[in-house]
Structure 1
Amino acid sequence: MKQTDRNKKHVSAALFHFILPISYKGETFKNLILFLQENQFTRYILSKSQNESGYYGTYQVSHDDMETFFLPLTSQYLFPASEDEIGFQRYTKGFSLNRLLIADHLNIPFKIHSIDLIICPYELGFITVRAEINDIPFSHALEFANSFRRKNFEDLLPDLSAFVDWDSPPPFFEPNKMQIQSLIHLTNDESIDEIDLFRSITLCNGDLGNNEYIINYVNEHSYNRWAPNTYIGLNDHCFTFLSNNGLDTKAKNFFGEFYYLQLIHLFNKLVFLKIAYNYSAIHIEKDYNAIEKLIYFINSFTSNFFFIEYPAKIEGQELFKLFKKAYNVDELYTNTKETLFSLFKYEENSVTKKDSMLLLVLTIYTVICGIFSINLFTKDLAGKINWSHFKHYNPFEYFAVFIVFSGIIVVAILGIQSLFQVFQERKNKKQWDEQAVLSSKIPKNRN
């Protein structure tokens, strides 16, 4: 592999998604939706054809292609038809801002086309900034991506701080790991080699390492179905779409199917990491309610949002596998299943111990009541009770009275506890369900 002079490669256009994972509190959810509505964010739905070209500069997407790509598995929760449905509630605002990025003595003009705020189940979400640069050296495009990913979005959405802590990513997510999607389109006379793909995946402008390392890395992290003109590369924080022809078609895929493809797997990874984080925070001997909540959390996610199967299209299946590998999704899923098994075993053992203790207590009461109560004082309870008889009881009879009436009290308490537990479990599950699979059931407009 010949290392060409990498500074001579030129980019006609580079499109970017800068994706910041966020977490928020469920109690602020409705206010967050109202905040977005008041700041001219529009809920993104596929039934509005104007959304196909309203937020992507001069490019557009195909809603039909987006929905078909994910059939038959995930399209329902990716593109909920109404704000009352469970799924990725996407709110988008067009900006068309011209900005200047200053990095390493470079002045790089760029455009911001739009911003998404996607509110997901399990109190997770994503902020996405769409940016574009044009007519720039390849190395400058990489420098732009590497520098912009370290910026924050607070100046664009200053009042969002009431709902999101800009300085703290989710505690279960690595800091300084803003996800990057890039479509880098080289000028038509530029060829693409392994070095170009390696650099676009790693955003590397410095020492690249030896050729063998580069080749192995590219083979491990790339998809070359459309080579030699188009390549896809992916690691745990950067997705790149590197091409030298068909920009409009590539942009349609980039802003459409590939954007949601990355969001799905990033969401899966974040949920699995959140499960692991919550499991590590449990005091196993004390937090019985937290154990119940985590079990419910895991089951609701794996049954509603995590799909082991793949889409029908071949390219969809292959790209799903590439993303799952890059985000280590299969191993995280295996760890989650082991966590669920451990929680079930602990819950089963705990319930068995409680049932055994309860059975022991009730058995003791039953035996003692059977021995003492029938033979010693129940005759005095027949008909009209003569309370003066109780003054002349011997110690065994007083003990029998105590056993019988305390037994009645114990049974009453256990009955009340059981009813309270049933009520509390229903209340908890309703609350957990609201936290896990939020939908925006709020007034469409604030008066």
Structure 2
Amino acid sequence: MMIKEKQVSQAFFQFILPFSWKAATIRNFILFLQKNQFTPYRLHELHNESTYYGGYQVSHSEMKAFFHPLTSQILFPSSGYEKGFQRYTKVINVESLLNIDHLKVPFQIHSIDLIICPYELGFITVRTEIKDTSLSNAIDFANHFNRKDYEDLLPDLGPFIDLDSPPPFLEPDKMHIQSLLHLANEESIDEIDVFRSVTLCGEDAGNHEYIHNYVKDHSYSRWAPNTFICVNEHCFTCITNSSTQKLMAEAKNFYGENYYLQLINLFNKLVFVKIAHNYSTIHIEKDYNEIEKLIYFINSFSSNFFFIEYPAKPDGQELFRLFRRAYDIDSLYLNTKETLFSLFKYEENSVTKKDSMLLLVLTLYTVICGIFSMNLFTKDLEGKIHWSHFKSYNPFEYFAVFIVFSGIIVVGILGFQSLYQVIQERKNKKQWDEQAVISPQIPKKSN
């Protein structure tokens, strides 16, 4: 296909990099953010509606109303002591230059988010903007904005996260890119433009039928032909030729509701992939504690964070479904349900075997003690014990003595093990809560 170059008056990008934080350092991590002028993001602070977006504005009240109440509580906790996405944002407002081979692209960095999520996951988001360039240059810019830019903006993160060695369930160098492209002079939007913007395809166009089917499967064209939204596994793009006034509304959705739609679905995907990875590393015959942890992990996530409710607005519902399809959320959810069923079945069989063995041991001790001990030597234990009588016992009486006292020891050991298990389970549950259900708490300032 022939590519007709389009001019872009403004291109907004949010580069989202998932990471895993270290549980042992979380309090120092938050102190580090506060020390480096990262501010907790709270919806009741209305003065921040236009602070982080390069002159554009979001509506906190509309964002909260866009999601169902349970989802809003997770996405927008009102304090650092509530479970959910703890977002810390810092204003940057610096001009920079990206060298792409022989091309230089000036851009501006508006702000940066660092979002700490449950399950030791998080996101780094960098908001950038470029002006008056071609669509190809905008695509090249998105393609070449790499992790080094994050490291320059966020030095000294090593003790808290590891960008160079991400966990196996996170793909290295896989940023998730959100873009809003405003074509200049109300130029028309072709399918090839939508395809290139979401696939970050440079000059290769492919055949028309493939591009048509791809755009049809991945896009939301409610506002066509002036605005197209397209989503795939790594990119979300909105390309529009609407007026400057309408661009304000597009930017509000881009930085507001659509940003959080992508975050919540990306978080769901990462948790499901993490569950699958943890399940694959379990030695089923040895790691009983890991099985318990994974069962708790799945149940706590399902009950606290995974909501199948769509946003209230019709367009939000359709976008939500588009993200779920792009991230394959439904298949990952079914796989997780099967994993949970397998773990429950194994745990049930394991507990049944242990209970059967314990019942067999106790039954044997009870029967043998009843047959031997009650009739052979218990009279020698009445009143003052005459130890000399034990010297005259026959083999059956010695066996009875062994059964009684070994039974007492076995019962004592089992009782101690049960008590230890209860204490250990409470300790584990508290630790799992801190990693999963309970959000990282803001350290209290010392007087």
TM-score bracket for this pair, using the shorter chain length: over 0.9
1:114–1:130 contact (8 Å) kept in structure 2: yes
Task: Give the drift of 1:152.
Answer: 4.2
The CA distance in 1 between the partners of 2:55 and 2:127, in whole Å, is 13
Does 2:240 align with 1:243? yes
Rounded Cα–Cα distance in structure 2 between residues aligned with 1:334 and 1:208: 35
User: 2:224: which partner in 1?
Assistant: 227
Aligned partner of 1:279 in structure 2 is 279
**Which residue matches 2:86?**
89
Partner of 1:32: 29
Alignment partners' CA distance in 2, 1:158 and 1:35: 11
Corresponding letter in the other structure for 1:251 = A
The SS at the match of 2:224 is: coil
Partner Cα distance (2:446, 2:31) in 1: 7
Q: Does 1:372 align with 2:372?
A: yes
Instruction: Tell me how far apart the structure 1 counterparts of residues 257 and 341 of structure 2 sit (CA, whole Å).
Output: 35
Mind listing any 5+ residue stretches in structure 1 that lack a counterpart?
none
Match of 2:60 in 1: 63
Residues 170-226 of structure 1 show CA distances to partners (whole Å, capped at 9, x for unaligned) of 311222210000000111320111111011111111211100000000000000011
**Kept after mapping to 1: 8 A contact 2:19/2:170:** no
Q: Which amino acid aligns with 1:112?
A: I
Q: TM-score, normalised on structure 1?
A: 0.97
CA deviation string 1:33-61 (max 9, x = no partner): 00000000000000101110111111110
**SS at 1:226 equivalent:** coil
Q: CA deviation at 1:435?
A: 0.9
Q: CA 1:185/1:4 → structure 2, altered by over 3 Å: closer, same or farther?
A: farther
Alpha-carbon distance, 1:150 to partner: 5.4
Distance 1:103 1:150 in 2: 15
Structure 1 window deviating more from structure 2 (239-248 vs 259-268): it is 239-248
Question: TM-score scaled to structure 2, two decimals?
Answer: 0.97
Distance apart, 1:24 and its partner CA? 1.3
Report the CA distance between 1:442 and its aligned residue: 3.7
Q: Which of the residues 180, 193, 197 maps onto 2:194?
A: 197
Deviations 1:223-256 (A, max 9, x none): 0011111110010000001111121110000000
Query: 1:404 matched to which residue of 2?
Result: 404
The AA in structure 2 aligned to 1:346 is Y
Residue 20 (str. 1) matches residue 17 (str. 2): yes
Q: Which runs of 4+ in 1 moved over 3 A?
A: 149-152, 444-447
Whether contact under 8 Å (1:72, 1:311) holds in the other structure is no
- Give the match's secondary structure for 2:124: strand
Q: Which region of structure 1 is more displaced relative to structure 2, 337-346 or 386-395?
A: 386-395
Structure 1 residue 151: Cα displacement: 4.1
Q: Is the 8 A contact 1:73 1:311 kept in 2?
A: no
Q: Give the Cα separation in 2 of the matches to 1:185 and 1:222.
A: 17
Amino acid at match of 2:387: W
Secondary structure in 2 aligned to 1:129?
strand
- The 5 A counterparts of 1:106-185 are 106-149=103-146, 151-185=148-182
Q: Which stretch shows the higher mean deviation, 361-370 or 382-391?
A: 382-391
Farther-moved stretch of structure 1 (145-154 vs 270-279): 145-154
Kept in 2: contact 1:34–1:446 (CA 8 A): no
1:46-92: CA deviation from partner (whole Å, max 9, x where unpaired): 01011101111111100011101112341001000000000000000
Partner amino acid, structure 1, of 2:120? E
Q: 1:75 aligns with which of 57, 68, 72?
A: 72
Task: Please tell me the residue identity of whatever aligns with 2:143.
Answer: N
Deviations 1:339-394 (A, max 9, x none): 00000011011001101111111111111101100110011111222222112111
Contact 2:97-2:107 within 8 A present in 1 as well: yes
Whole-Å Cα distance in 2 between the matches of residues 151 and 443 of structure 1?
30
Distance change in 2, residues 1:5/1:275 (3 Å): closer
* Structure 2 match to 1:6: 4
SS in structure 2 opposite 1:133? strand
Q: 1:413 and 2:413 equivalent?
A: yes
Q: SS at 2:282's partner residue?
A: coil
Q: Which residue of 2 aligns with 1:308?
A: 308
Displacement of 1:446 in angstroms is 5.6
Aligned residue pairs, count: 444
SS of 2:397 mapped into structure 1: helix
CA distance in 1, matches of 2:367, 2:249: 82
Q: Conserved in 1, the CA contact under 8 Å of 2:2 and 2:205?
A: no
**Would the aligned equivalents of 1:122 and 1:438 in 2 still touch at CA under 8 Å?**
no
Distance 1:229 1:4, change over 3 A: farther
Q: Which runs of 5+ in 2 are unaligned?
A: none
Q: How many Å apart are 1:25 and its aligned residue?
A: 1.5
1:14 and 1:131 map into 2 onto residues whose CA distance is: 8
- CA-based RMSD: 1.2
Amino acid at match of 1:64: S
Q: Is the CA contact 1:69–1:311 (under 8 Å) kept in the aligned structure 2?
A: yes
State the alpha-carbon separation in 2 of the partners of residues 444 and 424 from structure 1: 29
